[in-house]
Structure 1
Amino acid sequence: MDIAALITWVVTALGGFYLLGTWIRRGGIRQQQSGTSRLPAPVLFGHFALAAIGLIVWIIYVAADTTALAWTAFGLLLPVALLGFVMLARWIPLYRDRATAGTAPANAAAQGAEGAVPAERHFPLAVVLAHGLLAVVTLILVLLTALGIGGS
């Protein structure tokens, strides 16, 4: 089960890298000063940093098979999940606005310059859903492994 958790964690991380790259490429960092982006940079980068540290701890756990490391990785995943839910809650209204507004030229004129469109509005729904679903699966697999259920 520890290898399954590692695989889901790595795939989840790849989706997260894609979302982070999209956010940066679409001007998310610049939008922090104007308040255009609804995802605060400390939340986004905190989510990323804790997930990356947790993944490193999990890789060490897989190699060393020390229960304390499994629980440490799980402990790191809890705030990662909380921050992820915060970002999801802030992203859903933007997705709904995009879905209901469509891509009509009048909407583009109402939005003004491209900089007025939050960077996270460009996140593909499929990537957001896959990232979140795999994150939940990873959290469950890590917990089950730390509990000693399913072998290591």
Structure 2
Amino acid sequence: MDIAALIAWVVTALGGFYMLGTWIQRGGIRQQQSGTSRLPAPVVFGHFALAAIGLVVWIIYVVADVSALAWTAFGLLLPVALLGFVMLARWIPVHRGHATTGTAPAAPTTGGTEGAVPAERHFPVPVVAAHGLFAVVTLVLVLLTALGIGGS
């Protein structure tokens, strides 16, 4: 089950990397100053950092099979999940087109300048859904492994 959790975690991370890259490329960091982006940079990067640290801890657990590492990885996943839910809740109105600016979606901007469209508006729904689904699967598999259910 530990390998299944690792695979789920890596798949989750790939979707997360894609969304982080999209958010940065579309000006999410620059939009912090104008308030266009609904995703606060500390939340985005905190989610990423804790998930990456947790993944490293999980890889070490898979190699070393030390129960405390499994629980540490699970403990790291809890704030990751919380931050993920915060970002999802803030993304849904943007996706539905109810951004706080009230502007209609504009064409992608060029030259590295951000428009009135929040960077996260460019997240594909299937990527968001798959990221969330695999995140839940990862959390459950890590918990079951830490509890010793299903072998290690």
Do both proteins adopt the same fold according to a TM-score greater than 0.5, normalized to the shorter chain?
Answer: yes
CA deviations 1:69-112 (Å, max 9, x no partner) are: 000000000000000000000000111117xxxxxxx9457xxx
Size of the alignment, in residue pairs?
143
**Percent identical:** 85
Equivalent residues in 2 for 1:58-73, closer than 5 Å: 58-73=58-73
Partner of 1:29: 29
Partner of 1:79: 79
Partner of 2:139: 139
Rounded to whole Å, the distance in 2 between the matches of 1:67 and 1:12 is 23
Q: Evaluate the alpha carbon distance shift between residue 86 and residue 148 of structure 1 in structure 2; reply closer, same or farther with a 3 A threshold.
A: same
Partner of 1:49: 49
Q: So what's the TM-score if we normalise by structure 1?
A: 0.90
Rounded to whole Å, the distance in 1 between the matches of 2:54 and 2:114 is 35
1:94 aligns with 2:94: yes
Q: Alpha carbon RMSD of aligned pairs, Å?
A: 1.7
Rounded to whole Å, the distance in 1 between the matches of 2:29 and 2:81 is 22
CA deviations 1:9-44 (Å, max 9, x no partner) are: 001000000000000000000000000000000000
Rounded to whole Å, the distance in 2 between the matches of 1:38 and 1:76 is 24
Rounded to whole Å, the distance in 1 between the matches of 2:41 and 2:8 is 25
Q: So what's the TM-score if we normalise by structure 2?
A: 0.90
CA deviations 1:50-87 (Å, max 9, x no partner) are: 00000000000000000000000000000000000000
Give unmatched runs, 5+ long, in structure 1: 99-105
Q: Evaluate the alpha carbon distance shift between residue 64 and residue 108 of structure 1 in structure 2; reply closer, same or farther with a 3 A threshold.
A: closer
Give the ranges of 4+ consecutive aligned residues of structure 1 lying more than 6 Å apart after TM superposition: none
Q: Evaluate the alpha carbon distance shift between residue 108 and residue 69 of structure 1 in structure 2; reply closer, same or farther with a 3 A threshold.
A: closer
Normalized per residue, the structure richer in helix is 1
Partner of 2:16: 16
1:138 is paired with a residue whose SS is helix
Give unmatched runs, 5+ long, in structure 2: 107-112
Q: In structure 2, what residue type is equivalent to 1:46?
A: G
Q: Is the 8 A contact 2:27 2:114 kept in 1?
A: no
